[in-house]
Structure 1
Amino acid sequence: MKIALLGYGKMGQTIERIALERGHEIVLKKDEFNTYEGLSAADVAIDFSIPSVAVENISSCFYANVPVISGTTGWLEHYDEMVALCKSKDGAFISSSNFSLGVNLFFELNDYLAKMMAKFDSYRVEMEEIHHIQKLDAPSGTAISLAKGVIANSTYTNWTLNEPKSDEIPIDALRIDDVPGTHTVSYISEIDTIDIKHTAHNRDGFALGAVIAAEWIIGKKGIFNMKDVLNLKN
């Protein structure tokens, strides 16, 4: 499989290493210093760039008829626009706040726990996410996905980084050097606390999941997510 890497920072370099270990070829390493030359030769593109260029990267893939896997966060106000473009070009697209296999299992656990805890109004929900200081967006896309999972299965209606209203989930976003990603969802009452937590030890889990998603999407058309890749919808 020929892969175009859109974004060649630490994540892009980790994806490159894992892709090569799995027998794939890198045909483009796109950063701010080069062009999209080589994109059309790719079987699939993997975008781990920055919010300000994600839409351009993803659009370029659709126009080049290249399926795209995007792990960039902080640009999702344009998500519907990219979905519409993908459909108009009969393309293939997966966007995820987190491609880690463990995190996607954690999302499922979060949804299940939220459904169960919705029956017990003595508990309030709080979230904490910790990332490295280079991460540009806060809260993380993963934390937002977790919050949305709770909101979909409870009476909460929104999340906030500020002092919460009664129907808002507070998220504490911390930035500490060299932390790949830690997410905690807490249910707190006057008598006890229930925590679920995912801790990434390095970037390999994110990179491996992105490569697996790239392998999966070959030959497909449409808009997908990691539930499709991991067959978690049932």
Structure 2
Amino acid sequence: MKIALLGYGKMGKTIEALAIKRGHTIVLRCDDTSENDLKNADIAIDFSIPEAAFNNISKCLNNNTPIVSGTTGWLDKYNDAVALCKDKDGAFIYASNFSLGVTIFFELNKTLAKMMSNLKEYTIDLEEIHHTQKLDAPSGTAITLAESIIDNHQKYTQWKLDSNAENTVSISAKRLDNVPGTHRIKYVSAVDTLEIKHTAHSREGFALGAIVAAEWLVDKTGVFTMKDVLNIR
């Protein structure tokens, strides 16, 4: 594939290195783009910043360039991106986390929330830890986890940062040096604690997932998720 990298920070550079190892070519490296820049690209991978993401996605879809986006913090415009993709008969994948392991973790979280829904003795605690350069808090992954709990658990109706409010999934967001990403969900009662946890060891897991998604998306039409890429039903 000929790949346009929209966002050339640490993630962009990691994606570049892995993509080249997998036989792909990088034809564009930038933080913001025009439609003309995309003419030589088979697909674009966006890991830019929240302020640029929707603009990048729109330009790709208007240029009929498939786009994979892992930028978080812009989802107030997600439905607009979906509508544009459908209008242009384009191809688009967004994920708050492209790690293949996290995609499985999302499904474990959903299943566990359903199983715990009728057990009133348990309260929930959701914690995410990332490096100090991460701009948004809570992480997009933590929000995805919290929203899945809300959709599948009878007790919870909203999420908030560091909250003790009733019927609320409280998210704790910590920023520490050299932490690629850790997400932990605990169900706590007076007698025991049940916990699931995903720990990223490096950025390479996120980069590999984005490249796998891009390889899968080429020559397809529609709006997809990582569940489609991994054929999770």
Q: TM-score, normalised to structure 1's length? A: 0.96
Q: d(CA) in 2 for partners of 1:75 and 1:189?
A: 36
SS at match of 1:172: strand
- In structure 2, the partner of 1:227 is 227
1:130 and 1:175 in contact (8 A); partners too: yes
List runs of 5+ in structure 1 lacking aligned partners.
none
- In structure 2, the partner of 1:178 is 178
1:44 and 1:68 in contact (8 A); partners too: yes
- In structure 2, the partner of 1:119 is 118
List runs of 5+ in structure 2 lacking aligned partners.
none
Q: Does residue 134 of structure 1 match 2:133?
A: yes
1:14-53 paired onto structure 2 within 5 Å = 14-31=14-31, 37-53=36-52
2:163 and 2:171 in contact (8 A); partners too: no
Q: CA deviation at 1:164?
A: 2.8
Q: d(CA) in 1 for partners of 2:181 and 2:115?
A: 26
| Deviation sequence 1:119-157 (CA, Å, 0-9, x none) | 211001110000001111100000011111111111211
Matched pairs, number: 232
| Deviation sequence 1:46-91 (CA, Å, 0-9, x none) | 0000001001110110111100000000000000111111111111
Q: TM-score, normalised to structure 2's length? A: 0.97
SS at match of 2:152: coil
1:36–1:29 CA distance, 2 compared to 1 (3 A):
farther
Deviates more, 1:163-172 or 1:124-133: 163-172
Q: Which amino acid aligns with 1:152?
A: D
- In structure 1, the partner of 2:103 is 104
Q: d(CA) in 2 for partners of 1:197 and 1:231?
A: 22
1:152-171 paired onto structure 2 within 5 Å = 152-155=151-154, 156-171=156-171
- In structure 1, the partner of 2:66 is 67
Q: CA deviation at 1:36?
A: 5.8
1:157 and 1:168 in contact (8 A); partners too: yes
Q: After TM superposition, what 4+ stretches of structure 1 lie above 6 angstroms from structure 2?
A: none
Q: CA deviation at 1:35?
A: 5.8
SS at match of 1:97: coil
2:2 and 2:42 in contact (8 A); partners too: yes
- In structure 2, the partner of 1:89 is 88
Q: Which amino acid aligns with 2:72?
A: T
1:7 and 1:29 in contact (8 A); partners too: yes
* Identity of matched residues, %: 60
